[in-house]
């Protein structure tokens, strides 16, 4: 035994070096990413949060998640906290388009790249953020208008349920839809109110509109499925058949929305894909590595009506 240890003694440094040489490189420091989410206002938002959280886990990203609970000031505060923590990158899903310039300047000073995801911001200097990843809300509004004009022959009185006041999707879905129906003089919005993208508020706004307009309307255009699903509760409580007595067009295509189309309660849902995780972290990885990324990346959105909703349901991911 003594002979063996005396022979092996001089070898042990080589053994250690050999082990180190072949040991996997110490895992690169995990990327630290701060994500300031709007809140949990809708089924779409829940799917978006799930995608961001699950993809971060899959990629070993250290995600600092902040739920702003629908309050812009909470989002700004969360971004300041991410800057103080020295994260590698920040992702924001801006509740509203305004008020972002000061904190984005602070992030720029701290040399922390910011990715604007889902909803746009209004800033005087586009270099304050690295890129935008989201859906084209104007295209969604146009798709809804075109579908409705075809389905109604360009005739009907529309009640509009708007999303969160001052948010990019509400602004663009309203503007582009109005432009899309402008060429049909007998197809017009007779009233428009915000339900803040929330189901309960969609129901309450629809109750108030039913009281105000009685049966002097034919169509509901909702900026998201949660408000449309809330409106359906009010329409049914008023003894009307959604999808038949009242034509309903909505946006998001969450599973419940596509199911309502298959059930004939919603006539058309324009898709707005919330599964941003992979795209968002691909962009983070590139930006942190100093590689170029597209300034704007838009998701491809489809549309569901009676012709394709039932067949689409089994493979819907959100």
Residues that bind ligand GZL (CB under 6 A): 41-42, 44-45, 118-119, 135, 169, 197, 224, 226, 251-252, 272
CA distance 174 to 122: 17
Angle 257-262-263 from CA coordinates, rounded to 5°: 90
Per-residue b or e along 8-46, where b marks 16 or more CB atoms closer than 10 Å to that residue's CB? eeeeeeeeeeeeeeeeeeeeeeebebbbbbbbebbbbbe
Of residues 112 and 274, the one with the C-beta less far from ligand GZL: 274
Cβ atoms of 226 and 272 within 8 Å: the answer is no
- CB of 224: closest distance to ligand GZL in angstroms? 4
DSSP letter string, 210-248 = HHHHTT---EEEESSHHHHHHHHHHHHHTT--BTTTBEE
- CB of 226: closest distance to ligand GZL in angstroms? 6
Of residues 38 and 152, the one with the C-beta less far from ligand GZL: 38
- CB of 29: closest distance to ligand GZL in angstroms? 32
- CB of 102: closest distance to ligand GZL in angstroms? 23
- CB of 245: closest distance to ligand GZL in angstroms? 25
Of residues 55 and 252, the one with the C-beta less far from ligand GZL: 252
- CB of 42: closest distance to ligand GZL in angstroms? 4
Burial of residue 249, with CB atoms counted within 10 A of its CB: 0-12 exposed, 13-18 middle, 19 or more buried: buried
Distances (CA, A) of 135 to 77, 201, 271, 314: 26, 24, 9, 23
Of residues 106 and 136, the one with the C-beta less far from ligand GZL: 136
- For residue 59, the surrounding DSSP H or E stretch is helix 43-59
Distances (CA, A) of 154 to 142, 247, 265: 14, 13, 21
CA distance 223 to 252: 8
Of residues 152 and 273, the one with the C-beta less far from ligand GZL: 273
Of residues 141 and 242, the one with the C-beta less far from ligand GZL: 141
Of residues 42 and 201, the one with the C-beta less far from ligand GZL: 42
- CB of 311: closest distance to ligand GZL in angstroms? 23
Structural tokens at position 136: 């084209």
């Amino acid at each position: 035994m003594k002979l063996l240890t005396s022979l092996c003694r001089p070898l042990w440094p080589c053994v250690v070096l050999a082990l180190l040489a072949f040991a996997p490189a110490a895992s690169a420091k995990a990327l630290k990413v701060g994500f300031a989410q709007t809140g949990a206002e809708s089924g779409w938002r829940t799917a978006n949060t799930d995608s961001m959280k699950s993809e971060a886990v899959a990629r070993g990203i250290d995600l600092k998640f902040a739920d702003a609970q629908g309050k812009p000031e909470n989002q700004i505060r969360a971004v300041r906290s991410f800057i103080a923590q020295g994260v590698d990158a920040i992702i924001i899903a801006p509740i509203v388009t305004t008020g972002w310039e000061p904190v984005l300047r602070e992030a720029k000073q701290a040399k922390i790249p910011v990715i604007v995801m889902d909803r746009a911001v209004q800033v005087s200097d586009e270099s304050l953020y690295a890129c935008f990843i989201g859906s084209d809300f104007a295209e969604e509004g146009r798709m809804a208008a075109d579908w409705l004009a075809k389905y109604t022959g360009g005739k009907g009185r529309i009640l509009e349920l708007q999303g969160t006041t001052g948010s990019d999707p509400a602004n663009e879905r309203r503007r582009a839809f109005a432009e899309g129906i402008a060429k049909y003089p007998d197809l017009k919005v007779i009233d428009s109110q915000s339900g803040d993208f929330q189901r309960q508020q969609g129901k309450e706004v629809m109750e108030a509109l039913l009281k105000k307009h009685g049966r002097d309307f034919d169509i509901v255009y909702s900026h998201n499925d949660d408000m449309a699903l809330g409106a359906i509760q009010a329409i049914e409580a008023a003894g009307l058949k959604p999808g038949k007595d009242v034509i309903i067009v909505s946006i998001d295509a969450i599973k419940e929305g596509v199911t309502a189309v298959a059930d004939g309660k919603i006539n058309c849902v324009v898709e707005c894909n919330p599964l941003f995780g992979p795209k968002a972290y691909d962009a983070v990885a590139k930006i942190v590595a100093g590689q170029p990324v597209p300034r704007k990346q838009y998701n491809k959105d489809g549309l569901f009506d009676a012709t394709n909703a039932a067949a689409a349901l089994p493979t819907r991911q959100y």
